[in-house]
Amino acid sequence: QVPLVESGGGSVQSGGSLRISCAASGYTACMAWFRQAPGKAREGVAAIDSDGGQTRYAGPVKGRFIISQDNTQNTLYLQMSGLRPEYTAKYYCAADLRRMVCSESSWDRELWYTYWGQGTQVTVSS
């Protein structure tokens, strides 16, 4: 089992910023952030290759979110700026231990990810 523990969620006003983190045990993998808003399906937000060389973003968050990782600390981050109320969701980190390079065409599909955290709530008020 690869424990993934998210933290850093909270409440923020529209236009604000927040950084969430995901602590993981030592591994090499494609890592991603997903989110699930109330009543909606879980969707991919961003992904990063194991060496941090390539990142991928969902269209709505490009230019607003930055995914990064600190392999010395075994921590994945998502820096979120320009937050909007529609970004209110539970944010999950996920690991695909079968890949070191995230799939260009399917990085945002849940079925590729073997391990998931419990999620951290992000609430954006208008």
DSSP string for 4-41: EEEE--EEEETT--EEEEEEE-S---EEEEEEE-TTS-
Give the pLDDT confidence of 81-110 residue by residue, as tens digits.
999 999 999 999 999 988 899 999 999 999
pLDDT per residue over 28-70, tens digit each? 799 999 999 999 999 999 999 998 889 999 999 999 999 999 9
Q: Phi and psi dihedrals of 33, rounded to 5? A: -110, 135
Among candidates 10, 34, 31, 47, which has minimal Cα distance to 125?
A: 10
Higher pLDDT, 71 or 31: 31
